[in-house]
Amino acid sequence: MIADHLPVLVVVLPLVGAFVTLLAGWADRRLCFPIAMATTVIQFCISLLILSQVMQTGPLHYNLGNWLPPWGIEYVIDQLNGFVLVVILFLCVLTCLYSHRSTPSEIDEKKIPAFYTVLLLLVTGVCGIAVTGDLFNLYVFLEISSLAAYALVALGREKRSLVSSFTYLVMGSVSACFILLGIGHLYIVTGTLNMADLARVLPPLYGSTVIQTAFIFFIIGLSIKTALFPLHLWLPDAYRYSPSAVTVLLSTVVSKIGVYALIRILFTVFTPAFIIFEIPVMEVFCWMAAAAIIGGSVLAISQTDLKRMLAYSSVSQMGYILLGIGIADSLAVTGGILHILNHAVMKGCLFMIAGSFIYSSGIRSIEDLRGIARTMPLTAAAFVIAAASMIGIPPTVGFMSKWFIALGALESGQWIFVLVILASSLLTAVYFWKVIEYMYFREPGTVCAGTVSTARDPPAGMLVPTLVLAAACILFGIFVSIPLEVIEPFVTGILGGT
């Protein structure tokens, strides 16, 4: 009985959880964390159940209120969103655990209930995006998650977090408007909002300018949401001034769900037949992604603040995902989707580490990290692993996605992108190695010697999620066949066999 309702449960649960957290917060602030934690853990278990169901019986369809599609809202879960759901909820669980110790030092104590409430609302939004099979529903959930994200960014103690949240809000709303416009255009021409239905009705209309305009609106809107270079301007400040746990959520959950929406619209609503053969948009996409990869890396090199550096590195890494998708070869798309998991794991780990440095020593600048490996050995070791993964050194996860994307680029004869991927590995090495050199091979600077020598590895609540993610960087690299088992059926489904 319950098993039939899993898809909707994964959305309703955090919504209820948010409400309960708010109420409990009035009674006692200490209740908020356990409630939020329990909610995300249960959700994670549900998502695993859903994924295993999908893997056994194929895509799940759930009709909300028993209205049959295309009239009612349908929730559809296939391998792709099953996979994305598991990834983001995994990160949500870890972030929630991490936030228990990290947030009290970064936001006012009386805002703790608000923090967990909004966090669960954000989870509601992203899970909704992940499960829905209806375009307008997707827009609504996108806005729920974005609104929650604006609020979370603004929770930071530094006043600049307010301004960066405002910028984020304006950019995010504009992008949502573009998406809404795209949905409107599609609806006017086809009269349906169900993704599967759209995919069925659209092909005869591929020549229509209205459809092409709608497509462009979608691309622009989602490009802003995923901070595709050069539309990334809101991202560095939003990442830099948020509380650590929020940065982790933004960089792993929110950005990944944007990419998911993009993949969904590109490959399920508009089929490869449209995006590859009707208008040569993928070509443009690849070049944009290549610009993101190189541009993001170059900007990251020049940063002095650790979190900002990681933020620009995110811009670059999102480029990898989009490049994989843009090449539209089955191997490259596999690599792109795999990189959703990989980047979430690596960047989540890195931002947690940046947060740990702030927590333990208050240090934000890379230069001040000199010699910190001696006093925070485990944190520094996790950084090395995650950084090696970002550079793409085997056998870490980062190498695996690069391997697939580069192989896909080779297979489709696009040599230039192979070179872009490989060259950017070097750029990535430059800025990560700078940090490693500071942490391990330098004496503490005179100004920060005191803070560095008294810094300690953060409490277990923060350390454990960090180390779990660092271990995941290696484990998923060695046992890469596990995520591949999930991704490959989807890719074969949309692009045909390899």
Partner 1 sequence: MIEMLLPGLFLRYNYYMAVIIMLIGLYAMIAKGNLIKKIIGLNIFQTAIFLFYISSSDIIGGTAPILTSDPASVYVNPLPHVLILTAIVVAVSTTAVGLALVIRIYEAYGTIEEDELIAMEAKE
Partner 2 sequence: MDQPSLVPVLAICIPAVAAALILIFRNHPTIREGWTILASFATLACVLSMLPLVFSGTEPYAALFPILPGLSISFRADAFALIFALTSSSLWVMNSFYSIGYLQAHHGKNLARYFFCFSVAISAALGVAFSADLLTMFICYEILTLSTYPLVVHSETEEARMAGRKYLAYLLTAGIFFLLAVLITYYLTGGTAFAPGGILTGHGSALLMTILFITFLIGFAKAAWIPLHAWLPSAMVAPTPVSALLHAVAVVKAGVFGIARIVFYVFGIDMVSALGLGLLLASIASFTIIVASMMALSQDNLKKRLAYSTISQLSYILLGVALLTPSGIIAALIHIPFHAFMKITLFFAAGAIIVMTGIENISEMKGIGRRMPITMLMFAIGAIGVCGLPPVCGIITKWYLALGAIEAGQLVFLAVILSSSILNVLYFFPIISTAFFEKPDVDTGVHEAPLFMLIPLTITGICSVLLFLFPDWPFLTLVTIAESVITGSVLP
Binding stretches for partner 2 (CB under 8 A): 388, 391, 393-395, 400, 403, 406-407, 410-411, 418-419, 422-423, 425-426, 429, 433, 437, 440-443, 478-481, 484
* Alpha carbon separation from 321 to 46, 47, 293, 404 (Å, rounded): 26, 23, 10, 11
Print burial letters for 135-162: b (CB count within 10 Å at least 16), e (below 16).
bebbbbbbbbbbbbbbbbbbbbeeeebe
Verify binding: residue 222, partner 1, rule CB under 8 A: no
Verify binding: residue 152, partner 1, rule CB under 8 A: no
Chain centre distance of CA 56: 26
Chain centre distance of CA 358: 22
Verify binding: residue 154, partner 1, rule CB under 8 A: yes
Per DSSP, the three-state class of 67 is: coil
Verify binding: residue 478, partner 1, rule CB under 8 A: no
Verify binding: residue 294, partner 1, rule CB under 8 A: no
Nearer Cβ to partner 2, position 139 or 440? 440
Provide, rounded to whole angstroms, the least separation between the CB of residue 169 and partner 1.
5
Binding-site member from 160, 419, 478, 482 for partner 1 (CB under 8 A): 160
Residue 400 binding target from partner 1, partner 2, none, CB below 5 to 8 Å by type: partner 2
Nearer Cβ to partner 1, position 215 or 241? 241
* Alpha carbon separation from 201 to 62, 132, 133, 206, 208 (Å, rounded): 21, 19, 15, 10, 13
Residue 67 binding target from partner 2, partner 1, none, CB below 5 to 8 Å by type: none
Nearer Cβ to partner 1, position 69 or 82? 69
DSSP letter at 363 equals -
Provide, rounded to whole angstroms, the least separation between the CB of residue 425 and partner 2.
6
Rounded to whole angstroms, the Cα distance separating 394 from 489 reads 25
Angle among Cα 389, 495, 131 to the nearest 5 degrees reads 70
Residue 480 binding target from partner 1, partner 2, none, CB below 5 to 8 Å by type: partner 2
Candidates 311, 320, 251; CA nearest to 288 is: 320
Nearer Cβ to partner 1, position 140 or 205? 140
Candidates 154, 124, 168, 119; CA nearest to 142 is: 124
Span from 73-81, 172-180, 373-381, 440-448 in contact with partner 1 (CB under 8 A): 172-180
Provide, rounded to whole angstroms, the least separation between the CB of residue 321 and partner 2.
19
Residue 393 binding target from partner 1, partner 2, none, CB below 5 to 8 Å by type: partner 2
Provide, rounded to whole angstroms, the least separation between the CB of residue 180 and partner 1.
5
Verify binding: residue 119, partner 1, rule CB under 8 A: no
Query: Are the CB atoms for 299 and 252 separated by under 8 Å?
Result: no
Binding-site member from 6, 86, 123, 151 for partner 1 (CB under 8 A): 151
Q: Which two tokens stand for residue 486?
A: 């999930």
Question: Max alpha carbon distance in the chain (Å)?
Answer: 70
Q: Total number of residues binding partner 1 (CB under 8 A)? A: 25
HSE, CB side, 13 Å, CA atoms: give it for residue 414.
21
State the CB neighbour count (10 A cutoff) for residue 406.
24
Provide, rounded to whole angstroms, the least separation between the CB of residue 78 and partner 1.
25
Verify binding: residue 136, partner 1, rule CB under 8 A: yes
Candidates 342, 380, 345, 346; CA nearest to 363 is: 380
Nearer Cβ to partner 1, position 106 or 488? 106
State the CB neighbour count (10 A cutoff) for residue 38.
14
Binding-site member from 1, 28, 110, 159 for partner 1 (CB under 8 A): 159
Nearer Cβ to partner 1, position 58 or 184? 184
Rounded to whole angstroms, the Cα distance separating 359 from 354 reads 9
Provide, rounded to whole angstroms, the least separation between the CB of residue 429 and partner 2.
5
Verify binding: residue 157, partner 1, rule CB under 8 A: no
Per DSSP, the three-state class of 393 is: coil
Rounded to whole angstroms, the Cα distance separating 194 from 181 reads 16
Provide, rounded to whole angstroms, the least separation between the CB of residue 162 and partner 1.
5
Binding-site member from 27, 45, 188, 273 for partner 1 (CB under 8 A): 188
Residue 277 binding target from partner 1, partner 2, none, CB below 5 to 8 Å by type: none
Four-CA torsion 268, 271, 276, 281, nearest 10 degrees: -60
Binding site for partner 1 (CB under 8 A): 136, 139-140, 143, 147, 150-151, 154, 159-160, 162-163, 165-166, 169-170, 173-174, 176-177, 180-181, 184, 187-188
